[in-house]
Amino acid sequence: MATNKPKMEGEVFYPSDEIIAQANLKDWDVTAKAALKDPQAFWATEAENLEWFEKWDQVLDDSKPPFYKWFVGGKVNITHNAVDRHLKTFRKNKLALIWESEDGKTDRTFSYYALNREVSRMANIIKAMGIGKGDRVTIYMGRIPEIVFAMLACAKIGAIHSVVFGGFSVDALAGRIADSESKLVITCDGSYQNGKLVELKKIVDESLKHCPSVENVIVVKRTGQEIFMEPGRDHWFHDLCALPIANGKCATEVMDAEDPLFILYTSGSTGKPKAILHTHGGYMVGTYATLKYVFDLKDEDRFWCTADPGWITGHSYLVYGPLINGATAFMFEGGPAYPYPNRWWQLIERYGISIFYTAPTAIRALMRFGEAWPNKHDLSSLRLLGTVGEPINPEAWKWFYRVIGKEKCPIMDTWWQTETGGFMITPTPVVPLKPGSGTRPFFGQDAEIVDEQGKPVADGEEGYLVLKNPWPSMLRTIFGDDERYVSQYWSKYPGKYMTGDSARRDKDGYYWIIGRVDDVIKVSGHRLGTAEIESALITHPAVAESAAIGLAHEVKGQAITCYVQLKPGFAPSEELSEELRQHVSKHLGPIARPEEVKFIDKLPKTRSGKIMRRVLKARAQGLPEGDLSTLEE
Ligand code: PRX
């Protein structure tokens, strides 16, 4: 244990001398203080570690808030920094990506040299289909290496990728393709989930009935199942690879630092999902620096982020962050407990994973199977652990720390969002930890907890979490909807970014996230909106109206409960309830399947017709219903 321990309140886990000795950055306080005093200088130094075709003239242009611009005038390409630049160093022959199939029968490994070959080939093909700078490409695949190639290939030629999580279904996919006006979709015939086939291509076919913008579909063969191929529109990837245009070098486009890199749809307060837009320059610097400091990356590390590339965690810390840092990333096709609950522990042992980053929901689920499963495996390669996506309960934190990390691996509880692009409230390995707290804002950032009027609340009190400083990997806008960007994030507390989370800060300046204050539900760390679930329900002929709420769930964190008002002629029944759950699963995706569908005669609404979900939530929890003065008669 470290000798110099600051005195702090509550239960504190101090970093060991060994951890401090090997940390790249030993003095958190000094860096934090300097970065807070001059965030632009901190970020400029980080940006200088990367390669630019042309250097920026201005670090931050904040003349038109909240439309901040970073590294203005700089010319760059994120794929150049994630792939190309490593080819000039010893990393050319280093493993960039290690992958294992769900059934464990196949592994595939790619050096940076091989990664460049794969990305270039995919980029040549996409380009030959007429895709260029600024065009949108939807990627809808399972967790296989080609999803990484596809993302990097789009970035390489300046196209904007829009990855849709493979666990979403027709309604979600169609809506996202249509909104982005993608000309190209990259998909697979199918994917595996717990030994079962998911018919991805079939879902694409269904979706494209509503998406006139799509001209071509590239299909990667993964499962070999029988699928429909529309002549002229659908192309097997392996057939395209055999064409002469696929081979040879592919130039990496020179992009403006502020050119869009990707959009990623996420659920907001109300209405349909928003396309969060990130850029080449700022996002690149943000993911690079946050990962480097927080997970203390070293060349000999093997970094495993269990997230799917369909979510921001996969974008930033499975694909871009590790590769920009020249690390070795590990990617696994399957989930934690198939065929047995030792699957992940087996992989940590087999590949010598040194940094393991996952979600609290997975830890809680695996905890239930008992310690015997992890104890069967040698986990001594682990050096650091991490969690993300939802608050971690101290019990799960301690289990993770003791059983998986053997009390020697600090846990980096990283708080951030699709919108922030990278870690915002997070420790680094040398920071004392308190189970359940993300500790303090990352370098250059300052957070505050405020009341309804925007006034800071006292330490220990709950309030709204806001961020005070712009940062490079911040979202630039909602694609095609600047107004919504301003109203959603910057209107309630002018000059401050509204996170949508409530939190409190303790006497030591540590932040404790409580949860969302809007209509976002976090199911197993996956972000879903009540509106999406309700619009899926309304397409069922029996449903007149519905309301979705999130209720606490032991493993998933939150689970969905829906209240349904039936149309005349339909009667409540167990069968109908089950049918509606399946309906949501089929239309929106299995991750959105409600835990419960309950029938209600009349939904509580305000006089202006808005559903009062908080009243339903209070009733379900047996809590006081609060102020009902706006409730309609
Ligand atoms: O409520 C917070 C929760 O996840 C939300 C962001 O969700 P999403 O955009 O899907 O990104 C998730 C992965 C970055 C936040 O508003 N959240 C995320 N990380 C944490 C968290 N809540 C508590 N602790 C965390 N470490």
Residue bearing the CA closest to ligand 1, atom 12: 389
Cβ of 391 closer than 6 Å to ligand 1, yes or no, is yes
405: phi then psi, degrees, rounded to nearest 5: -90, 0
Q: Which atom of ligand 1 is nearest to the CA of 413?
A: 26
Would you place residue 1 in the very low, low, confident or very high pLDDT band (cuts 50, 70, 90)?
Answer: very low
* Phi, psi angles (nearest 5°) of residue 68: -80, 145
**pLDDT, tens digit (0-9, with 9 covering 90-100), for 279-308:** 999 999 999 999 999 999 999 999 999 999
**How would residue 630 be classed by pLDDT, with cut points 50, 70 and 90?**
confident
**Burial call 150-169: b when 16+ CB within 10 Å, e when fewer:** bbbbbbbbbbbbbbbbbbbb
* Residue 313 CB–ligand 1 contact under 6 Å: yes
Percent of the chain predicted with pLDDT > 90: 94
Quote the pTM value: 0.96
Report the distance separating Cα 457 and Cα 447, nearest Å: 12
| Ligand 1 binding pocket mutation candidate from 388, 498, 510 (most atoms within 8 A of CB) | 388
pLDDT band at 572 (very low <50, low <70, confident <90, very high): very high
Cα dihedral 322, 326, 327, 333 in deg (nearest 10): 60
Taking every pair of Cα atoms in the chain, the longest distance, rounded to a whole number of angstroms, is 73
What's the rounded Cα separation, in Å, for the pair 521 and 617?
12
Q: Prior bond to 341 cis, omega within 30? A: no
Q: From ligand 1's centre to the CA of 416, what distance in Å?
A: 5
Q: What is the pLDDT of residues 159-177, one digit of tens each?
A: 999 999 999 999 999 999 9
Q: What is the pLDDT of residues 77-126, one digit of tens each?
A: 999 999 999 999 999 999 999 999 999 999 999 999 999 999 999 999 99
CB 561 within 8 A of CB 548: yes
Q: How far is the CA of 390 from the centre of ligand 1 (A)?
A: 5
Task: Give 430-485 pLDDT, tens digit per residue.
Answer: 999 999 999 999 999 999 999 999 999 999 999 999 999 999 999 999 999 999 99
CB-hemisphere CA count at 13 Å for 83?
A: 25
Q: Is the pLDDT of residue 401 over 90?
A: yes
Q: How far is the CA of 108 from the centre of ligand 1 (A)?
A: 31
Rounded CA separation 531/611 (Å): 11
Least confident piece of the model among 140-154, 171-185, 393-407, 598-612? 598-612
Residue 4 is predicted with a pLDDT of: 62
Using pLDDT thresholds of 50, 70 and 90, give the confidence band for residue 313: very high
Vertex 479: Cα angle to 475 and 481 (nearest 5): 105
Q: For residue 438, which atom of ligand 1 is closest to its CA?
A: 26
Q: Which residue's CA is minimally distant from atom 22 of ligand 1? A: 390
Cα(76)–Cα(476) distance, integer angstroms: 17
Using one digit for the tens of pLDDT, what is the confidence trace for 216-257? 999 999 999 999 999 999 999 999 999 999 999 999 999 999
Q: Three-state SS string across 531-592, please?
A: HHHHHHHHCCCCEEEEEEEEEEECCCEEEEEEEEEECCCCCCCHHHHHHHHHHHHHHCCHHH
CA nearest 258: which of 276, 286, 274, 278?
A: 278
Which whole number is the average pLDDT over 138-146? 98
Tokens of 598: 């309950």
**pLDDT above 70 as % of the chain:** 99
CA atoms within 13 A on the CB side of 111: 10
In this predicted model, what pLDDT tens digit does every residue of 84-97 receive, in sequence order?
999 999 999 999 99
Tens of pLDDT along 328-368? 999 999 999 999 999 999 999 999 999 999 999 999 999 99
Tokens linked to 9: 């309140």
Instruction: State in Å: Cα 549 to ligand 1 middle.
Output: 18
Rounded to the nearest angstrom, the distance between the alpha carbon of 415 and the centre of ligand 1 is 6
